[in-house]
Structure 1
Amino acid sequence: MIKHKKVAKIGLLISAISAQWFVQADEKLAMTLNNLEPSLFAPNTVSTNQFEYGASLSPDGKKFAFVRALAQFAHSALVISNKQGDTWQTPTLLPFSGEFHDTNPYFSKDSNTFYFTSRRPVEGAAQDIFKMWQVSYDGDKFGKPELVPGKINGDHNVVYPTVHTNKDIYFSSVIKGTTGGVDLFISKFHPDGYQAPTEITELNSTASDADPEVSPDGKLLFFTSMRPGGLGHYDLHVSVKQKDGKWGEPINLGDKINSRRMDSDPILSADGNTLFFSSDKNPEVKAVNNYDELLQRQESIHNGLMNIYSVDITELNQYLRNKI
């Protein structure tokens, strides 16, 4: 009986220590998320009173591609801003964009290829489907668009594809027979063409899950989701890869980043320590007293259209990697 009591006491002690560790871990996470300080990226140059979203920073940090769109995503074109010194320059239209509905730009990790999705015509295919395209890129000039080879393109939309260092492509789509509305997928690289998409089942929910971006070391996956427990719309989340190779329980990035509006399009810098994302959050809505003030409010950056934000996530990266 005494031995059983000692075992029970030890068990209770271990449980208490474990519970305390989880509380401390949760407190540390809450503090880390509360320390995040997102800000508008390049205000009045990239982030303006127009509709912009879906960014990608070149590996050398000197070029920033993003989307300028009409309201309600009716049509969009790809633009690029160049950095001179510490200043981002007025964007210019990418040479292959402007006619068709182009979106989701992405620089490859080796800077040799530029990716995007588009509804541009493809012979024998439905014209209302976003397919993934690629153009050669030498750091200055862009080539001509070509469809990404293999089975990643099909009779489904390819939405917000990102290309990992091993050339695997992560993207979101609606494909019959999968978990939710919009789900997360991976298309594995093969020299003869990309393999058919497979669902990332451990991350998909019955709600919509979209816009995946994997950290350069492959240990973190950022995405947006409408799953329960968020702030009311699409919220940004992060998942840590577990020792068994599966993705862990998603972590909501909190109210410093997320809002009651759409928060989406997570993209990382080459070192993984800066997170870019899109949001139509409107942090300050002031009452107006006359028509001129009304026009000024409608013409301001925070007028309800999407903007692009950046945030230093160095501390968050350190916390998450301690969980691995």
Structure 2
Amino acid sequence: MKNITRLLCLIILLITSISFAQQSDSPAPEATIAETKISFWDLPYLKEAFIDTTPTGRKDSLAIGELGANGGNKDMIIKLSQEIADSMHGLYDSMLITHKGMLLFESYYRRGRVNLASDQASAAKAYTSLALGRTIQLGYLKMADLDKPLVSFLKDLDPTKFVKGAEKITLHKALTMRGGLRISEEQRKEFEKNPSKLKGQGLVQTLLEHSAPITSTSQNYSYGNFNPSLVMQVIEAVVPGTAQDFIKNELLDKMGITNYRWRTGVSGLPEAGWRVSMTSRDMVKWGTLVINKGKWNGEQLISAKFLANATSNIIKPTEDWQPDSFNYGYFFYQTNIIVGDKSYDTTFAWGGGGQYIITVDELDLVVVITGHDREDTIMTQVSKVILPAFVKDQSSVLENPYLGQKPPGLIPEPFAPGMVTTEEWQWSGAFTPDLKEFYFIREVGETEEDKKMKFIVIQNKNNKWQESVISPREGEPFISPDGKTMHLGTRYKERTETGDWSKIKSLGVPFKDFPIMLLTASAKGTYVFDSMGEGILRYSRLIDGEREEPKQFGKEINTGKSNAHPFIAPDESYILWDGRRDSGYGNADIYISFQQQDGSWGEAINLGDKINTESSEAGAFVTPDGKYLFFNRNVGKTKPTDKYDDVDTFWVDAKIIEKLRPKS
């Protein structure tokens, strides 16, 4: 009997495999012209599911790959797809998966069609969030504007008629569903009787005249509650032309999205929270935009800083239907999915019935799902099947040691948005040789009076990146190439046998006599350091175990108004530092000098306009493996005379150094 059962299972598996192979050779199901004109709810179900592990290119700018060959466990995904087709997990219409920038899997069920723009429900809120991020990238708004009164951007309002507390509503509050409006259902119905009063900013005027007062108590999480509409009103107010044209020209057209419906709300503006339709393939494009940190085909469409906030864990949603494991950012959800002994930060847009755009940055994974299921429990299968299918070894160490970040190319990118690069001021940085610890300085505090510099570490513990505050600022960190010493200017710590750091110690004479900001060391023990206020770089070699008196570098390096924050390569082949010279691009630029065959130092070379800007760049260093160049950039201002008012950490492929190295 057991043998018969096994034989039947084998036959079923074989038939299923043949069915899928044949299916992938046929085109994806398309809605007929007649079907595109009828209601989604009248659309007939497909006679059979379409499941393709080798998707076909459709000239829609999506790169194509093959499930299994280009990543992912093919058997696990096919099994889940068959279960979806058999209604084991609810009523879903499509599932598409991209990995490392390639569409590896495409499937349609029931009412799913490759060319049918399906209702996004509340997933549309995420598109509104990204549209606001586009206004910030283009300079129509600034990040600081998120905390200003929302009504300050709407010039057609009469504030004398507002309820008390109207100015408490900010973009930040609205984006996190905490605007605080209190409008009864009876009031809402009454408004709809006179739609002319709701046109344009009249909608906001009406809401702010008739709401109960806005208070800190009312500004708790309340899903919907006109918040998306308030955000769309600001977009309309700050962009040239209309919000509708802005969204089309600056987002949809740039991503090649033409098969869509974006309906108009009662105000005459685009709907902000629903009534938007997209094809499943175009939903993949939105996910690709998110996982590429706001870039599309190399162009930064969305402010990376805004996107880091939008997709982060800002608050806990409190509606009964929202799982306790879900967090909320700016109209995006966030959760942590455990696979084996490791947690994966997962971001998603979510609409009722089962509309999802799921991104997992560490796995370079985008999952798109559409459906019409009332219970909508498919996220369970995302956790149990889809993510595990793309984790090579559930108990392995991180595939990417740089805090799980996708490495940059030859154009600098903010490092670890939301983790290291945040709204707060960051400075300096140092990795341990095993790349499992990253030390840096961050400005912490809610107000200008409260802000203080803290010494931060992000460590890989049990395959999770965990942040902790070590202490107040102790100096700018540098970790020796052997990992045994952490230099902090004129002081240092040593790695103990337990793996901890010792108490802080002084370098003693003669170094304590210099006001050192940053001291770095080569593998040979040579110290290179700056001197605050002097603008001079010095070095001190270790000769036969004895430390020589510090000496100044020559004019090749010590030229210009100031020189600071040096980094000497472990093999002493080059030195990086930041300096102010009349020939530079801005206030402070990063320079490099290569050691010559005779031991002297070559002329300073500016790292060029890909690294240096009209503002200030400083604090450059190269990771212990030699692969990436890190540096700090003042992103708050662009004028050369401005101070360091908003500093972010950037990284770039270290190949740029080799491009500058003189040919021998």
TM over 0.5: yes
**Taking structure 1 as reference, are residues 138 and 170 closer, same or farther at Cα in structure 2, changes over 3 Å only?**
farther
For residues 191-206 of structure 1, what are the structure 2 equivalents within 5 Å?
A: 194-201=547-554, 202-206=556-560
CA shift at 1:268, angstroms?
A: 1.0
Q: Provide the secondary structure at the position in 1 that maps to 2:542.
A: coil
CA shift at 1:322, angstroms?
A: 5.2
Amino acid at match of 1:145: I
Q: Tell me how large the CA RMSD over aligned residues is.
A: 2.9
Instruction: Give the structure 2 partner of residue 216 of structure 1.
Output: 570
Deviations 1:198-218 (A, max 9, x none): 101131014101111112221
The alignment's TM-score, normalised by the length of structure 2, stands at 0.35
Choose from 484, 492, 512 the match for 1:133.
492
Instruction: Give the structure 1 partner of residue 522 of structure 2.
Output: 164
Amino acid at match of 1:307: D
Instruction: Give the structure 2 partner of residue 45 of structure 1.
Output: 419
Q: Say whether the 8 Å CA contact 1:151–1:193 is kept in structure 2.
A: no
For residues 285-324 of structure 1, what are the structure 2 equivalents within 5 Å?
A: 305-314=646-655, 316-321=656-661, 323-324=663-664
Q: Residues of 1 paired with 2:474 and 2:611: CA distance?
A: 27
- The list of structure 1 runs, each at least 4 consecutive aligned residues, that deviate by more than 4 angstroms after superposition, is 84-87, 190-193
CA shift at 1:239, angstroms?
A: 1.1
Q: Residues of 1 paired with 2:637 and 2:497: CA distance?
A: 39
Q: Say whether the 8 Å CA contact 1:152–1:187 is kept in structure 2.
A: no
> Percent identical across equivalent pairs?
25
Instruction: Give the structure 1 partner of residue 561 of structure 2.
Output: 207
**Taking structure 1 as reference, are residues 114 and 174 closer, same or farther at Cα in structure 2, changes over 3 Å only?**
closer
**Is 2:475 the partner of 1:91?**
no
Q: Residues of 2 paired with 1:306 and 1:42: CA distance?
A: 14
Q: Say whether the 8 Å CA contact 2:637–2:645 is kept in structure 1.
A: no
Q: Say whether the 8 Å CA contact 1:216–1:271 is kept in structure 2.
A: no
CA shift at 1:151, angstroms?
A: 1.8
**Taking structure 1 as reference, are residues 174 and 305 closer, same or farther at Cα in structure 2, changes over 3 Å only?**
closer
Q: Residues of 1 paired with 2:569 and 2:622: CA distance?
A: 7
Tell me which protein shows more strand as a share of its residues.
1
Q: Provide the secondary structure at the position in 1 that maps to 2:457.
A: strand
The alignment's TM-score, normalised by the length of structure 1, stands at 0.68
Q: Residues of 2 paired with 1:218 and 1:139: CA distance?
A: 31
Choose from 612, 628, 649 the match for 1:258.
612
Choose from 534, 542, 566 the match for 1:189.
542
Q: Residues of 2 paired with 1:278 and 1:207: CA distance?
A: 19
How many corresponding residue pairs? 246
Q: Residues of 2 paired with 1:220 and 1:165: CA distance?
A: 13
CA shift at 1:182, angstroms?
A: 0.6
**Taking structure 1 as reference, are residues 317 and 234 closer, same or farther at Cα in structure 2, changes over 3 Å only?**
closer
**Taking structure 1 as reference, are residues 280 and 267 closer, same or farther at Cα in structure 2, changes over 3 Å only?**
same
Q: Say whether the 8 Å CA contact 1:266–1:277 is kept in structure 2.
A: yes
Instruction: Give the structure 2 partner of residue 248 of structure 1.
Output: 602
**Is 2:633 the partner of 1:279?**
yes
Instruction: Give the structure 1 partner of residue 457 of structure 2.
Output: 80
**Is 2:488 the partner of 1:116?**
yes
Q: Say whether the 8 Å CA contact 2:517–2:532 is kept in structure 1.
A: no
Q: Residues of 2 paired with 1:75 and 1:323: CA distance?
A: 46
Q: Residues of 2 paired with 1:146 and 1:210: CA distance?
A: 23
Q: Residues of 1 paired with 2:576 and 2:463: CA distance?
A: 27
Q: Pick 1 or 2: higher relative contact order, CA cutoff 8 A, min separation 6.
A: 1
Amino acid at match of 1:266: A
Q: Residues of 1 paired with 2:549 and 2:649: CA distance?
A: 32
Q: Say whether the 8 Å CA contact 1:136–1:144 is kept in structure 2.
A: no
CA radius of gyration, larger in:
2
Q: Say whether the 8 Å CA contact 1:52–1:67 is kept in structure 2.
A: yes
Q: Say whether the 8 Å CA contact 2:628–2:654 is kept in structure 1.
A: yes
Q: Say whether the 8 Å CA contact 1:55–1:66 is kept in structure 2.
A: yes
Q: Provide the secondary structure at the position in 2 that maps to 1:224.
A: strand
Q: Residues of 1 paired with 2:482 and 2:453: CA distance?
A: 26
Q: Residues of 2 paired with 1:63 and 1:247: CA distance?
A: 32
CA shift at 1:39, angstroms?
A: 0.9
**Taking structure 1 as reference, are residues 194 and 185 closer, same or farther at Cα in structure 2, changes over 3 Å only?**
same
Q: Say whether the 8 Å CA contact 2:442–2:456 is kept in structure 1.
A: yes
CA shift at 1:266, angstroms?
A: 0.8
Q: Say whether the 8 Å CA contact 2:430–2:440 is kept in structure 1.
A: yes
Q: Provide the secondary structure at the position in 1 that maps to 2:651.
A: strand
- Residue segments in structure 2 that go unaligned for 5+ positions in a row: 1-408, 639-643
Q: Say whether the 8 Å CA contact 1:107–1:113 is kept in structure 2.
A: yes
Q: Say whether the 8 Å CA contact 2:485–2:492 is kept in structure 1.
A: no
**Is 2:421 the partner of 1:68?**
no
Amino acid at match of 2:477: P
CA shift at 1:234, angstroms?
A: 0.7
Q: Provide the secondary structure at the position in 2 that maps to 1:183.
A: coil
Amino acid at match of 2:419: T
Instruction: Give the structure 1 partner of residue 503 of structure 2.
Output: 144
Deviations 1:32-69 (A, max 9, x none): xxx83111111111111111111001111111000123
Instruction: Give the structure 2 partner of residue 106 of structure 1.
Output: 478
CA shift at 1:150, angstroms?
A: 4.0
Amino acid at match of 2:469: L
- Residue segments in structure 1 that go unaligned for 5+ positions in a row: 1-34, 118-130, 176-180, 285-302
**Taking structure 1 as reference, are residues 85 and 78 closer, same or farther at Cα in structure 2, changes over 3 Å only?**
same
CA shift at 1:313, angstroms?
A: 1.6
